[in-house]
Structures are given as C-alpha cells and as structure tokens.
Amino acid sequence: MKIVVLGLNHKTAPVEIREKLAFGAVETTRALCELKSRFCRAEFVLISTCNRVELYCADKRAGGVDADDLARFISEFHNVKLEKFQEFLYAYSDEDAVRHLLTVASSLDSMVVGEAQIIGQVKESYKLACAAKSTGKVLNRLFHCAFATSKKVYTTTSISSGRVSVAGVAVELARQLFADISSAKVVVIGAGEMGQLIVQHLLAVGAGHITVVNRSWDRSLKVAEQYGITARKWEELHEQLIGANIAIASASVQDYLFKKDSFKEITDRRRQGPLLIIDIAVPRNFEPAVNELEDLYLYSIDDLAEVVEQNRKARERDIARGMEIVFENVAGFMDWFGAKDIGPLIGQMKEKFAQIGKNELERFFVGAREEASCRDVMEAMVNRVVNKLLHCVIKNVNAVAKENGPTEAARLVDSIVRQAEEISSESSNNNKKEDTQS
C-alpha cells in the first residue's frame, strides 16, 4: 500500500485561498462519505483548521488514489477551479507523508509552534473519519502514532510553555499596538474554544474591560460567568463595536459578518478614536476592504507573522528536540508499514513457487509417464526442493529487512513474486503447447 497527503497551509497559501477550501464538521463528514463511495478500497482522513486543509489517503500502490485524484476532488467539492489553488498545494507520499502528519500533530508545523489546539483538531478530524467509516488499518495505526508522538513532544520538551496559540499571538499583537490595554474596551466576537482562549490571554495581560458577543446567548453568558467578564447579545454587536477600542474576532461563519459599506455605518457613529480589529477566523469575519475606512486598522490571521517569528525563535531548541522525536517515531511506523506487506507477499511467493513445481511435474508426467508409479515420490521430492529454496529466499529476505528495513525487504519479495508469476505463466503455457502437440 501507499500513503498520500495532499494539502495547503499558512506557509503555502494566503487566507483568501484557505477560506475558500475550508471544511466545517458537516462538510468534512460529507466529503469523507463521498470519497469512500468513489474509492471504496481506500482510507481517508480530512484535517481542516484555520491554517490548513489536508487530505490523507492510504490505498493500493498500483492503480490506487493519487494526489491528482485528491486535488480534483477538493476542486469539485468546493466548486473552485483547480487552477485557482493548484500552485499552493503540496503532496507527500509514504515516509514523507508520515513525517508530515507527525510534525503537524506535534504543533511543529503550526503557525504558532507549540500550540495545544492542533492535537485536539487532529483528534477531532480522526474521530469524524472513524464515524464516517473512512479509515482502516493503515490510517488507524498512523493517527495513533501521531497522537503518541504529540504526547511525547509535549511532555519531554517545553514547547508549549507561554502564550503559544493563535489567540495568544493575537492578544500579544493587540498589546503591542495599544499602549494601555488595561483601559481599552475589548469586544471578543465568538465564544467557542478560540474565543475563550482569547479571553484567557486578555485577562493574562491585564485587560480590564472585556465583552463577549456570540450567536448563542447561553454560551456568551456561560463564558462571561466563568471569566468574570461582560456578555452581550448578538443583536447588540454593532453597538458594542461603536464603543470599542479593540475587537478580536473568531466567529465560525461562512460569509463576512461585516463588509465595508455596512461597517461604515459603525465608523460614522464612533467617537472613541481608532479601532483595532484582529480577525483570526477562517473563513474571515471582516471583508478586507473594511481596512480602507478611516481610523480603523484591520489585521487578519496572516498578519501575525512578526509575533509568530518571535515565538519560533524562542523555541528553536525545543523544535529541534521535537523533530528528533518525530524522526524516531516515523522510523518505527515505517518499520511496521513495510513489515505488514511482507507476510502476504511471502504467502504469494510460496503459492507461486508451489505452482511452478506443480507445472513442471505436469510437464514431466505426460504420455508414457502419465501413469508412472513414481509420481507420488517425485511430487514429494519436488515439494521438498521447493520448500528448501523458499527457506533460502526467506532467510535472505530477513537479512535485507534487518539491514535495510522492512520496506526494502517488501520490495524485494514483491519483485520475486512478479518474476515467479512470469515463470509460472510460461511453464503453464508450455504445458498447454505440449498437450496440443501430443
């Protein structure tokens, strides 16, 4: 089998591309079911976060699903022409694909290295795939290997210390741009996991006037009570933004909450000086053109680069140690991945060798020798020879596995099986010719 991953992320694609190809939970389930229906023998897991969309697949090596198939599927599913995003895609296979997933799950490939949210997102993606029955032996093993790798990276390094999340970086940016955040009126749009993280980080830097606004009033109220802040109903969002100094948005929506024209009504009524908006939602909550309005500064998730780079430099030693753990676990998985194919291949090799022996016996016992009394003795002797040759071959396969790894050993056995198939076919055809001539 082969493992393939096709995707794009914050390093390869801008937010305006990522938001067009993002999958919500319902869309993820539908996509997985469609993939499984179209490619019934393959396995699939789909990861979609604010910073990446990645489709993992395990399928047969010859004639199975490839990266082009996955790219076409994403294009068709979202009704976005492939040429619009093809240049932003990356594709990895086998060991490179395994290394990529383990790096992602361990937050070593995240915009904010060390963020704890990514492993939860990967686990949720895997959970959705299990529910959709789109996983199998290979991806089940791979994703559990990724979970174990992430746990080891987090428990044996300091990579997750400090404000290591997109929410934390957004608040750090706000703190750098707003001189006295303790006196600023801050509106948090969205009360989901990201919204709550924003509130936590705001409180940690001393913000004293925080209001959370969410579509669900009950959730807003619950978050407000938990953190000792203010909650307002969704219908009051416009009024809250009129009086705000800072707004940080992470609401889950499929279209902009605010466009330039509608937001101008808010800015025309403001008397609070400049408004800083940090939009970390994907898809975005604010149309980019909003930034053209006077006394308003809009930052998207892709504008957090400078703060993100500060975080990365502070964690270089932990990143190096984390990658060592990733490489160790990649090697362990690839040993299993290579070895899992050897057993069935050995079985096929035994069948082909036995068939060759049988064909040669049939070729010998024709004509006057057809009823020879020594047939049983000859069959036993040929079987012994075949088994001894098999023993020699398997011994050499084991030596290759030990020296060069199971994957190389599997390639060797696969090559022997194909050659044995050719020999078996030739001897079978020769027998038929001889039968015809006799």
- Residue numbers annotated as active site: 50
The strand pairing partners of 277, in sequence order, are 247, 298
**Structure tokens, 36:** 């499984």
How many residues are there in the chain?
Answer: 438
Confirm if 247 and 187 have CB atoms less than 8 A apart: yes
Confirm if 293 and 260 have CB atoms less than 8 A apart: yes
**Which is it for the CA torsion 20, 7, 312, 160, positive or negative?**
positive
Torsion, CA 282, CA 286, CA 288, CA 290, rounded to 10: -170
d(CA 365, CA 200): 85
Confirm if 263 and 293 have CB atoms less than 8 A apart: yes
The answer for residues whose C-beta is within 8 angstroms of residue 198's C-beta and 6 or more apart is 167, 170, 171, 188, 248, 250
